[in-house]
């Protein structure tokens, strides 16, 4: 646990060329660090942000902050990610979802294009996990990190972590991918596509040109609602809500506007989650996710796996709807077939995909063993 205040910093690249060949100017990414880099520059852990997260993995920015970073329980002196031993870096994403959070630094569709003086909107380049990794690599080199002891991420961050192993095989010793696979299979592609539809169907989206006007808040909130439902499990819904009414006095059978509690809560949460977000940023992150394929640029997927030198830990969640166990097991076995040193662990959880964060304590012994192996 981090007790001192954490400082948010900005990494500026200048010009950055994406894998698609397009270039933008004045590229920025926010990041924060915990602990101290050793003289050899080899004790670093890099944390890749998951879909809706930011660089804020631990600590607080201000004494008045109500919440600490999302992994505060495992980062700090004597913790699982021991800041007396490791130098830990965490960054915002390209096109970070929380674009309008004042503590987020990100270049994306909502940013101003210095060449036109207007928002990029859909003129922003389509990007992949490799683009994200390339920016992160430049950030780490600027911090004098000579080699990563570990790169770790959950969900979309875990997809990001896998790409590190292929993009810079000599730079990474260990990769921990939590509830994520090296390839987003067709099932995930379709889910990501479905989550994009409500935004694009909102009449206020205007093909992405809504800046300075009314934003597509209803479509964006519905997207976040759908994402929330898919991220949990049927067991979670049954245990938390059952068939409770939103209002004990309003039977859902008596009027169309009378709802069940789960309907009301998930709808409300959709609007809350979209408060600091940007709809175009959501579309671009989803596009990045559905493009995920570790074999991109190689003759075959197997050829890509052969280049991996890092030791891999894959963690799956028993009730995950996004990365089902048999999908995860397939990719784990592929790693072994191609000679990759890989381990596989399943968290027994009734929380679905969110079990990777909410039931994280169940994998602490496995992570500790992997770190010290």
Last residue within a domain, chosen from 237, 254, 285: 285
Residues 225 and 146 in one domain: no
- 353 carries an active-site annotation: yes
Instruction: Assess if residue 368 is contained within a domain.
Output: yes
Q: What is the DSSP string of 248-308?
A: TT--TTT-TT--BHHHHHHHHHHHHHTTT--HHHHHHHHHHHHT-BTTTTSSSHHHHHHT-
| Rounded Cα–Cα distance for residues 40 and 61 (Å) | 29
Instruction: Assess if residue 4 is contained within a domain.
Output: no
Q: Which CATH number does the domain housing residue 239 bear? A: 1.10.1740.110
Residues 123 and 73 in one domain: yes
Digitized pLDDT (tens) for each residue of the chain, 373 residues in all: 888 899 999 999 989 999 999 999 989 999 999 999 999 999 999 999 999 999 999 999 999 999 999 999 999 999 999 999 999 999 999 999 999 999 999 999 999 999 999 999 999 999 999 999 999 999 999 999 999 999 999 999 999 999 999 999 999 999 999 999 999 988 889 988 999 999 999 999 999 999 999 999 999 999 999 999 999 998 888 888 999 999 999 999 999 999 999 999 999 999 998 888 999 999 999 999 999 999 999 999 999 999 999 999 999 999 999 999 999 999 999 999 999 999 999 999 999 999 999 999 999 999 999 999 8
Residues 62 and 120 in one domain: yes
Residues 277 and 309 in one domain: no
Residues 99 and 241 in one domain: no
- Number of domains making up the chain: 2
pTM for the full predicted model: 0.95
Instruction: Assess if residue 1 is contained within a domain.
Output: no
Containing structural domain, residue 210? 189-285
Residues 81 and 173 in one domain: yes
Residues 309 and 269 in one domain: no
Residues 14 and 149 in one domain: yes
Residues 305 and 330 in one domain: yes
CB within 8 Å of 219: residues ≥ 6 apart: 198, 199, 200, 201, 202, 204, 205, 279
- 110 carries an active-site annotation: no
* Residue (of 215, 214, 226, 220) closest to 199 by Cα position: 220
Instruction: Assess if residue 3 is contained within a domain.
Output: no
Instruction: Assess if residue 178 is contained within a domain.
Output: yes
Indicate which residue of 68, 155, 177, 349 is catalytic. 155
Last residue within a domain, chosen from 236, 260, 285: 285
Residues 359 and 310 in one domain: yes
Q: Which CATH number does the domain housing residue 63 bear? A: 3.40.50.1820
Report in angstroms the alpha-carbon separations of 116 from 4, 121, 209, 212, 310. 41, 12, 14, 15, 43
Residues 171 and 44 in one domain: yes
Residues 48 and 170 in one domain: yes
Q: What angle do CA 119, 122, 126 make, to 5 degrees?
A: 120
The structure tokens listed for 145 are 């990190």
Instruction: Assess if residue 2 is contained within a domain.
Output: no
Indicate which residue of 320, 327, 331, 349 is catalytic. 320
């Amino acid at each position: 646990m981090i007790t001192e205040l954490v400082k948010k910093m900005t990494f500026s690249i200048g010009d950055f060329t994406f894998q698609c060949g397009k270039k933008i100017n004045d590229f920025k990414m926010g990041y924060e660090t915990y602990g101290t880099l050793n003289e050899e520059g080899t004790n670093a852990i890099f944390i890749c942000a998951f879909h809706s997260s930011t660089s804020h993995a631990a600590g607080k920015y201000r004494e008045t902050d109500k919440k600490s970073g999302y992994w505060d329980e495992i980062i700090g002196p004597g913790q699982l990610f021991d800041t007396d031993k490791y130098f830990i870096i965490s960054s915002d994403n390209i096109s970070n979802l929380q674009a309008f959070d004042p503590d987020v630094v990100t270049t994306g569709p909502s940013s101003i294009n210095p060449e036109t003086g207007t928002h990029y909107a859909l003129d922003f380049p389509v990007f992949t996990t490799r683009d994200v990794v390339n920016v992160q690599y430049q950030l780490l080199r600027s911090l004098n990190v000579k080699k990563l002891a570990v790169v770790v991420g959950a969900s979309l961050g875990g997809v990001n972590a896998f790409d590190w192993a292929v993009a810079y095989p000599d730079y990474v010793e260990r990769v921990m991918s939590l509830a994520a696979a090296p390839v987003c299979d067709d099932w995930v592609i379709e889910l990501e596509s479905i989550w994009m539809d409500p935004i694009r169907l909102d009449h206020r989206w205007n093909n992405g040109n809504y800046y300075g006007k009314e934003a597509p808040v209803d479509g964006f909130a519905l997207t976040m609602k759908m994402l929330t439902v898919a991220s949990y499990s049927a067991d979670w819904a049954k245990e938390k809500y059952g068939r409770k009414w939103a209002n004990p006095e309003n039977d859902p059978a008596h009027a169309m506007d009378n709802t069940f509690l789960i309907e009301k809560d998930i709808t409300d949460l959709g609007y809350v989650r979209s408060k600091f977000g940007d709809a175009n940023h959501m579309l671009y992150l989803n596009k990045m996710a559905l493009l995920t394929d570790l074999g991109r640029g190689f003759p075959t997927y197997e050829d890509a796996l052969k280049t991996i030198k890092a030791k891999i830990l894959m963690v799956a969640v028993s009730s995950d709807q996004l990365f089902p166990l048999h999908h995860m097991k397939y990719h784990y076995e592929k790693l072994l077939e191609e000679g990759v040193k890989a381990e596989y662990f399943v968290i027994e959880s009734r929380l679905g995909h969110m079990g990777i964060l909410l039931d994280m304590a169940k994998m602490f012994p496995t992570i500790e063993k992997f770190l010290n192996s």
